[in-house]
Amino acid sequence: MPAYLDHAATTPLRPEAAAAVVAELSQAGNASSLHGAGRRARRAVEEARESLAEAVGAGASEVVWTSGGTESDNLAVKGLFWARRGADPRRRRVLASAVEHHAVLDAVAWLVDHEGAEVTWLPVDAAGRVEVAAVAAALAERPEEIALLTCMWANNEVGTLQPVRQVAELAHAAGVPVHTDAVQAVGHVPVDFTASGVDALSLSAHKFGGPVGAGALVLRRGLDLVALQHGGGHELGVRSGTLDVASARGAAVALAASVAELRPEAERLRDLREQLVAGLRAQVPGIAVRGDADPAGRLPGHAHVTVPDCEGDSLLYLLDARGVEVSTGSACQAGVPRPSHVLLAMGVEPEEARGALRFSLGRTSTAADVAAAVAAFGPAVERAQRARRSARARSARRAS
């Protein structure tokens, strides 16, 4: 079997979650119906809601079921913007970290293009962590015009944890609500919604062993939010649509299991990550490891590297051919590979950023997977660098 080291993209469905989904799929009943089958479905949804809320330190009434992280991010960013601007037309500014996932970046960009929003991108340091002083400075500038601030909990590329609690304290002192994209964090590091002080938190089940297409937006009680879709007033009136009972149960079961084993699993993944990084460096001494060097400041299973004189997508295919499945650190737009906006925000030069690879370990990762990745890495890099040199030589000959 291939060595699957792309858990940050999606992680395998946990057996207990799969069992919960299958059991629910065999049942009939719309959770909004009043008959017995409907009441049974509603009970299953609410029990799942309570379980998920407990796992992230929230109240059950604060959990809104969604289809996943992208919907949750869009609902939070757009819904908060519209609600705040509706209450005060001056509130058109959005503060966002420069290393957000595209579900947040593109939602903010859409508001700029279509709703007259003004965005301030908050800078990050060389580890990819938002600069708290820059947050304070941005909040001090025309605070009465700020609609919201959004800052992710953990970066999806380099794994760096963000100072969410500090950011929330600063924002609240300025009267600004805070959203955090915690998709990569939930189920992998301790996440406490109430203690963090944020107003909205996005999560996605398939990142912690739940089903794809299930997620939630956790909303502070009393927070005003404008709905993106309408039709039945489900989920506190902000997310209409027939509830997916099976996915809700699967998500809750997966998260409860992940949280129960969080600390020992994090230690295991940290050890595997260190073995992986040491092996990659031994194979190719010139690589640079990105993200926070302190294990306490990053996700336990992320190992992000940039390789000199290589294209990340070429390395991905070469590793895939050797049975090692990873991802690159670049977003492909319109078929054209571009350097990762995260790495560029961290100060990495565009040429260097093109050689990015993300190895992400998860529950099913083993020492054998790490050994396979290390063994394949050196030959793959050598071939990719040779191809790059040949391409440059051909270009030089044509230019002459």
User: Residue 21's Cα: distance from chain center in Å?
Assistant: 23
Mean pLDDT value across residues 261-274: 98
Closest by alpha carbon to 242, among 251, 231, 250? 231
Q: Phi and psi of 96, rounded to 5°?
A: -145, 140
Per-residue pLDDT at 331 exceeds 60 = no
pLDDT of residue 265: 98
Q: pLDDT category, 336, cuts 50, 70, 90? A: low
Q: pLDDT category, 332, cuts 50, 70, 90? A: very low
Q: Is the dihedral of CA 288, 289, 291, 297 positive or negative?
A: negative
CA distances from residue 204 to 172, 187, 282, 303, 323 in whole angstroms, order as listed: 26, 10, 35, 21, 27
Tell me which residue has tokens 């579900």: 103
Q: Is 189 within 8 Å of 211 (Cβ atoms)? A: no
Angle at 309 between CA 308 and CA 311, to 5 degrees: 100
**Catalytic residue list:** 332
Taking only the tens place, the pLDDT of each residue in 347-367 is 999 999 999 999 999 999 999
CA distances from residue 134 to 122, 123, 130, 167, 390 in whole angstroms, order as listed: 7, 7, 8, 10, 44
CA distances from residue 92 to 3, 113, 171, 199 in whole angstroms, order as listed: 47, 12, 16, 18
The one-character DSSP state at 262 is: H
Q: pLDDT category, 266, cuts 50, 70, 90? A: very high
Q: CA–CA separation, 324 vs 380, rounded Å?
A: 11
Tokens for 295?
């294990």
Q: Is 268 within 8 Å of 282 (Cβ atoms)? A: no
pLDDT of residue 134: 98
Tokens for 397?
């000959």
Q: Is the dihedral of CA 338, 99, 9, 269 positive or negative?
A: positive
Q: What is the mean pLDDT of the chain?
A: 94
Considering the chain, what percentage of its residues have pLDDT values greater than 90? 87
Distance between start and end Cα atoms, the chain: 47
Q: CA–CA separation, 19 vs 58, rounded Å?
A: 26
Q: Is 180 within 8 Å of 151 (Cβ atoms)? A: yes
Per-residue pLDDT at 233 exceeds 90 = no
Looking at the domain that runs over 261-399, which CATH code has it been given?
3.90.1150.10
Tokens for 396?
């030089």
Environment class of 168 (CB within 10 Å of its CB; exposed 0-12, middle 13-18, buried 19+): buried
Environment class of 212 (CB within 10 Å of its CB; exposed 0-12, middle 13-18, buried 19+): middle
Q: CA–CA separation, 90 vs 120, rounded Å?
A: 15
Mean pLDDT value across residues 285-301: 97
Tokens for 310?
């290589």
Q: CA–CA separation, 3 vs 389, rounded Å?
A: 29
Tell me which residue has tokens 């757009």: 78
pTM of the model: 0.95
Q: CA–CA separation, 367 vs 275, rounded Å?
A: 8
Q: CA–CA separation, 350 vs 338, rounded Å?
A: 9
The topology under which CATH files domain 15-259 is Aspartate Aminotransferase; domain 2 (3.40.640)
Tell me which residue has tokens 């990495």: 348
Q: Which of 41-45, 181-185, 313-317, 332-336 has the lowest mean pLDDT?
A: 332-336
Taking only the tens place, the pLDDT of each residue in 12-42 is 999 999 999 999 999 999 888 899 999 999 9
Taking only the tens place, the pLDDT of each residue in 108-129 is 999 999 999 999 999 999 999 9
Domain boundaries, the chain: 15-259, 261-399
Per-residue pLDDT at 333 exceeds 60 = no
Per-residue pLDDT at 66 exceeds 70 = yes
Residue 208: CA atoms inside 13 Å, Cβ hemisphere, count? 36
Mean pLDDT value across residues 78-82: 98
Environment class of 41 (CB within 10 Å of its CB; exposed 0-12, middle 13-18, buried 19+): buried
- Please state, as a whole number, how many other Cβ atoms lie within 10 Å of the Cβ of residue 293: 9
Strand residue runs (E) in 262-315: 288-290, 302-306
pLDDT of residue 329: 63
Tokens for 363?
């529950």
With helix as H, strand as E and coil as C, how does 114-165 read? HHCCEEEEECECCCCCECHHHHHHHHHCCHHHEEEEECCCECCCCCEECCHH
